[in-house]
Structure 1
Amino acid sequence: MTALREYERLEASGLWRPTPEEQRREIIVSIGEATLTITDLNDRALAHWSLAAVERKNPGDFPAIYHPDGDPGETLELAEDETAMIEAIERLRAAISRARPRPGRLRLFGVGASVAAVLAVLLVWLPGAMLRHTVQVVPEIKRQEIGAALLDRIERVAGRACTTPETGPVLDALARRTGVRRLVVLRTGVKAALHLPGGIVLLNRSVIEDYEDPAVAAGHILVERARAQDLDPLAEFLDHGGPVATFRLLTSSHVTQGALDSYAERVLVAPRPALDDESILAAFAEADVPSSPYAYARDITGESVLGLIEADPMAGRDPAPVLPDRDWVLLQGICGG
């Protein structure tokens, strides 16, 4: 994009606030390859915003206030005298907006030019590099939105999630105990556990109903969390969708229903990527959860999971229970028996 090359490495000072509860900080903002980079006065990176997802909160007013699409709580303020940076951002936003396809016959030529531009970019920009960049700049609120959309598509195949008023707080407690944002229990579809973008972990009812020890369910959650640290769930989704899905999310902050449906159908049947014992044991040690119950649940003979049994980080210790007995018994009835 000519406009992007014209403004590469343009810098300005401003005020940045990551959340409404925090104080504004003096920062330096610069324009790089498809992103606004926000750094502190010691040149340490604080945030990366995709240029395609930058919104202005107060058009025409000053100081100019910008935020990432979908996250108005994180703001960047630029004073009126930072004319060059404000003009650059507005020009780039306008250029990106014009490049997006619009309906109607009069837009046909523009649509064709946009498609040609997309294809040209995909040919010269390595898909792997584009994917890694997209995963880096997508805000957490967008991850949660994609995860919720995937959950909706999965529930259409596997059935609605199990839930009761009594078990909601227990699931929340188990999520906090294992370090994930949200737990969802399904009757079918998921083999054991599955991590979606946005910190959502799906559990098959069997990992709760078939075992007396809640450490088994906790183990499945911890393994999925460790797997997500090794391979970002958003990267899994975009890798399946291909370069077009990645480019669409990077430039418009949107994903198509087709991409969601295709991934939801595949991820329920595809084997989960393998993890080494070292990564698994580190996750159990961090959460103070014994690994042996999970290991024996995978292989009752213990032969194929000997490393997880012999190196159990809680062996010889008395860790706090994953859940109180009453809560675990209550959770085992979440799907109605």
Structure 2
Amino acid sequence: MTALSEYQRLEASGLWRAAPEDQRREVVVSVGNATLVITDMRDRVLTHWSIPAVNRANSGVLPAIYHPDGDSGETLELAESEGQMIDAIEKLRTGIARQRPKPGRLRLGMLLASAAIIGGLAIFWLPGAVRDHALRVVPPVKRAQIGAALEREMQTVTGPPCRAPGGVQSLAKLAQRLPSTRGTGGLRVVRGGVDGTATLPGGTILIHRSLVEDYEEPDVVAGYVVAERLRARAHDPLGRLLDHAGLAAAFRLLTTGDPGDAALRSYAEYLLADAPLQPISDAALLEGFKAWSVRAAPYAYARDVTGESTLALIEADPFATEAPPPVLSDGDWLRLQGICGG
């Protein structure tokens, strides 16, 4: 991604829509830190697209049409007159593609490495060793692709992400306010299936609509996002998938770059029905609230309305006496509350 620096000040006009049923709207596109930043004509951020996950729908044809990997309904159209931006995006996409392991070479390399390890260290074949090796070698782009595939499997229960236009913009601001330290850091609000929040491989967090609809302040959903970011940092979401799917899925991921449809389907059902939340210590939570500048008390009372079981978070709230920067403006919070259309 070293080529990003030469495009940091590049901007272009385009037409963007969040979903197929929405009208296209004029936007400004710029290259950010490993993202395409899409803003409206009032310089308000509408969304961020991770550059490694940007796909082109009509290669070689103008106007150029782009969409995020796994979501062809959200599109960005760049006219022929914006050739400099199109060339920049294509150059970045080409550079990323060159850095990705070639499937044939990856498969051959993994097979040869596996054969050598079988001859030297039988212990490598223990499930934990195979899992840990897979987590070390799978690149972030592949993690994001696995997360997108898992999200599609879950949509039979969760439904598609809520996309009321004003709410989508506010959700993007919430993601920007609570950035991920690794992974895409994307947020999705869903209508059902998820008990609170869930993190997918690649870093996308699914949020149940009740967290934005049932509370009077955005600090509650912000607290759940912070907790989920900490949980993903302590318990790798891809590792949890492989723990559930077993050795066969881990070995298939190593040799083909894909854990398999059956593994994704099984894990989707597990996340939606049985998966327990991995515990996070109060000390870790309080450090997280301090790092992301979010009040701890609203999250604590949302977990336990009496405050009895979460008293440590309430009493040690790092912002009990001094308010942090607002999570969202009042207008953005009202729009986010309507993201599922009522």
Conserved 8 A contact 2:172-2:187: yes
Conserved 8 A contact 1:208-1:332: yes
Letter in 1 for 2:143: R
Conserved 8 A contact 1:222-1:283: yes
1:221 equivalent among 218, 225, 232: 225
Tell me by how many angstroms 1:22 deviates: 6.8
Q: Deviations over 1:295-323 (max 9, x none)?
A: 00111110000011011011111211100
Secondary structure, aligned partner of 1:72: helix
1:182 equivalent among 171, 181, 186: 186
Q: Is 1:252 equivalent to 2:256 in the alignment?
A: yes
Q: Is 1:151 equivalent to 2:151 in the alignment?
A: yes
Superposed, which structure 2 residues align to 1:88-237 within 5 Å? 93=105, 96=108, 125-180=125-180, 181-237=185-241
Q: Matches of 2:107 and 2:195 in 1, distance apart?
A: 46
Partner of 1:318: 323
Tell me by how many angstroms 1:233 deviates: 0.4
Tell me by how many angstroms 1:123 deviates: 7.3
Conserved 8 A contact 1:208-1:214: yes
CA 1:122/1:325 → structure 2, altered by over 3 Å: closer, same or farther? farther
Secondary structure, aligned partner of 1:179: coil
Q: Deviations over 1:109-142 (max 9, x none)?
A: xxxxx9xx99xx9875221122112111111100
Partner of 1:292: 297
CA 1:280/1:156 → structure 2, altered by over 3 Å: closer, same or farther? same
Letter in 2 for 1:226: L
Secondary structure, aligned partner of 2:228: helix
Q: Is 1:72 equivalent to 2:84 in the alignment?
A: no
Q: Matches of 2:107 and 2:175 in 1, distance apart?
A: 43
Q: Matches of 2:271 and 2:193 in 1, distance apart?
A: 10
Q: Root-mean-square deviation (CA), in Å? A: 3.1
Tell me by how many angstroms 1:97 deviates: 7.9
Q: Matches of 2:107 and 2:254 in 1, distance apart?
A: 15
Q: Matches of 2:110 and 2:286 in 1, distance apart?
A: 51
Mark the runs of 5 or more structure 1 residues left unpaired by the alignment: 1-17, 24-69, 77-88, 101-113
CA 1:132/1:211 → structure 2, altered by over 3 Å: closer, same or farther? same
Letter in 2 for 1:96: L
Identity %: 46
Q: Matches of 1:156 and 1:133 in 2, distance apart?
A: 32
Conserved 8 A contact 1:19-1:73: no
Determine which structure has more spread, i.e. the larger CA radius of gyration.
1
Q: Matches of 1:327 and 1:153 in 2, distance apart?
A: 30
Tell me by how many angstroms 1:74 deviates: 3.0
Tell me by how many angstroms 1:293 deviates: 0.2
Q: Deviations over 1:205-249 (max 9, x none)?
A: 000000011000001111010001110001001111111111111
Q: Is 1:278 equivalent to 2:283 in the alignment?
A: yes
CA 1:242/1:94 → structure 2, altered by over 3 Å: closer, same or farther? closer
Letter in 2 for 1:308: L
CA 1:98/1:260 → structure 2, altered by over 3 Å: closer, same or farther? closer
Q: Deviations over 1:225-274 (max 9, x none)?
A: 00011100010011111111111111211121111100000012222111
Conserved 8 A contact 2:159-2:191: yes
1:330 equivalent among 314, 319, 335: 335
CA 1:223/1:75 → structure 2, altered by over 3 Å: closer, same or farther? closer
The answer to which structure, 1 or 2, has the higher relative contact order (CA under 8 A, 6+ apart) is 2
Tell me by how many angstroms 1:21 deviates: 3.4
Structure 2 length-normalised TM: 0.66
Mark the runs of 5 or more structure 2 residues left unpaired by the alignment: 7-94
Secondary structure, aligned partner of 2:206: strand
Matched residues, number = 246
Partner of 2:29: none
Secondary structure, aligned partner of 2:162: coil
Q: Matches of 2:190 and 2:100 in 1, distance apart?
A: 38
Partner of 1:51: none
Tell me by how many angstroms 1:71 deviates: 4.3
